[in-house]
Amino acid sequence: MKRSKWVLGSAAMLALAVALAGCGGGDKKDDAKKAAGIKGELMIYTSIYPDIIDNMCKPNVSKAFPDMKVTWFQGGTEKVMTKITGEIKAKKIGADVLMVADPSYYLKLDDQKLLLPYKAKEDAAIINDKDPNGDWYAVRVCNMIIAYNGDKLPKEDIPTSWEDLANPKWKGRIAMPNPMLSGTAYVAVGALADRFGWEYFDKLQANGIRVEEGNSAIQNKLLTGEYAAAMILEENILKLAATKKEPLKVAYPKEGVVQIPSPIAIFNTTKNPEGAKAIVDWWLSKEGQEAVVKGWMHSVRADVKEPPGAPPTKGITEGRVKVNWRKLADNNAQIKEEFRKRVMDK
């Protein structure tokens, strides 16, 4: 059985990417002509938020590929995975391209030999995680961080560590997304359990952590002061702070963020391989990555700046919490059951 390798970006790769980025994309006029000639239909399954799809993804992709009909199916990572599982069993996969949050899921798909190897045009410019055979590429970088309300939390109480969430002074006033529904929350649970031991979640449970179905509930209760601090995706807080001037702030834990380099991949059952390859190339191009940043996520390229309000991507990546992607891929049910038993069933 094939085992994918999770290739991590390094300082050397960063330097190489900076040197090569200018020649990775080819001539823009030629690229535009080729894109305009891409036709047919394409279905993308994704966990990107609906408002980002409507306001960022659809307009940019339609502009880049005016002759191709692109359809989107959106759902949380777990919802999309459940849909694909049924389609695999029925031997009728509906997606051409997959863009969900949990990188470990792509390892499972790779094990099943369901992904189409494709060495993207922008391969040399990608400094984040990627499969050596081109079966998948990180296409957007999300970070699980701690959020707090700057108007309601005294400066001396601002959390600086993941372990601060277990501080008794915040008993009943902390929250996190549900890892049974959220791929990024699942990654965070696995990574933090490896970093601190499962006892960490025993402490959070004893401290009254609330497990919310979605990020909106967490955001709203941070604003009202019901929650003092919460584990949540950085992009949610950056967006609210910038677009609605809300007082929510990001705390980057001293142990590092839990980084989720969410991939893009092509199913080998696609009926439009040229269109799918063109979409991958576009998302990994500088133009596509600038669109990613407009969605408040970080880029996988060295020549695209971080989203407004965030520190440089390079520093966050270098200091991130270690994630064992193979373990997350092979032990999905066990990890979720352990979390459920320790946190949700008590």
Q: Is residue 201 part of a domain?
A: yes
Q: Output the pLDDT for position 346.
A: 76
User: What is the spatial distance between Cα 54 and Cα 272, in angstroms, rounded to a whole number?
Assistant: 23
Contact 220, 180 (CB under 8 A): no
Q: Are both 214 and 225 inside the same structural domain?
A: yes
Q: Are both 171 and 212 inside the same structural domain?
A: yes
Q: Is residue 274 part of a domain?
A: yes
Q: Are both 44 and 101 inside the same structural domain?
A: yes
160 is in which domain, residue-wise?
142-258+324-344
Q: Output the pLDDT for position 1.
A: 43
Q: Is residue 1 part of a domain?
A: no
Q: Are both 340 and 211 inside the same structural domain?
A: yes
Q: Are both 137 and 274 inside the same structural domain?
A: yes
Residue 162, beta-bridge partner list: none
User: What is the spatial distance between Cα 301 and Cα 285, in angstroms, rounded to a whole number?
Assistant: 9
* 247-283 as b/e: b if 16+ CB within 10 A: ebbbbbbebbbbbbbbbbbbbbbbebbebbbbbbbbb
Q: Output the pLDDT for position 215.
A: 83
Q: Are both 225 and 331 inside the same structural domain?
A: yes
Q: Output the pLDDT for position 305.
A: 97
Q: Are both 162 and 94 inside the same structural domain?
A: no
Q: Are both 22 and 90 inside the same structural domain?
A: yes
Q: Is residue 83 part of a domain?
A: yes
User: Could you tell me which of 172, 174, 322 has the C-alpha nearest to residue 251?
Assistant: 174
Q: Output the pLDDT for position 268.
A: 98
Q: Is residue 218 part of a domain?
A: yes
Q: Are both 134 and 161 inside the same structural domain?
A: no
Residues 6+ apart with CB under 8 A from 57: 46, 48, 72, 291, 295
3-state secondary structure the chain: CCCCCCECCCHHHHHHHHHHHHHHCCCHHHHHHHHHCCCEEEEEEECCCHHHHHHHHHHHHHHHCCCEEEEEEECCHHHHHHHHHHHHHCCCCCCCEEECCCHHHHHHHHHCCCECCCCCCCHHHECCCECCCCCCEEEEEEEEEEEEECCCCCHHHCCCCHHHHHCHHHCCCEEEECCCCCHHHHHHHHHHHHHHCCHHHHHHHHCCCEEECCHHHHHHHHHHCCCCEEEEEHHHHHHHHHHCCCCEEEECCCCCCEEEEEEEEEECCCCCHHHHHHHHHHHHCHHHHHHHHHCCCECCECCCCCCCCCCCHHHHHHCCCCCCHHHHHHCHHHHHHHHHHHHHCC
Residues 6+ apart with CB under 8 A from 60: 287, 288, 291
Q: Is residue 4 part of a domain?
A: no
Q: Is residue 158 part of a domain?
A: yes
pTM of the entire predicted model: 0.88
List the pLDDT tens digit at each of the 346 positions of the chain: 444 445 444 333 333 333 333 333 445 555 554 555 899 999 999 999 999 999 999 999 999 999 999 999 999 999 999 999 999 999 999 999 999 999 999 999 999 999 999 999 999 999 999 999 999 999 999 999 999 999 999 999 999 999 999 999 999 999 999 999 999 999 999 999 999 999 999 999 999 999 999 888 899 999 999 999 999 999 999 999 999 999 999 999 999 999 999 999 999 999 999 999 999 999 999 999 999 999 999 999 999 999 999 999 999 999 999 999 999 999 999 999 999 999 999 7
Q: Is residue 6 part of a domain?
A: no
Q: Are both 234 and 175 inside the same structural domain?
A: yes
Beta-strand relationship, 137-149 and 229-233:
antiparallel
User: What is the spatial distance between Cα 176 and Cα 173, in angstroms, rounded to a whole number?
Assistant: 11
User: What is the spatial distance between Cα 279 and Cα 46, in angstroms, rounded to a whole number?
Assistant: 13
Residues 6+ apart with CB under 8 A from 59: none
Cβ count within 10 A of residue 136: 28
CATH code of the domain covering residue 179: 3.40.190.10
Q: Are both 265 and 238 inside the same structural domain?
A: no
Q: Are both 55 and 93 inside the same structural domain?
A: yes
User: What is the spatial distance between Cα 23 and Cα 302, in angstroms, rounded to a whole number?
Assistant: 13
Q: How far apart are the first and last CA of the chain?
A: 39
How many domains does the structure of the chain reveal?
A: 2
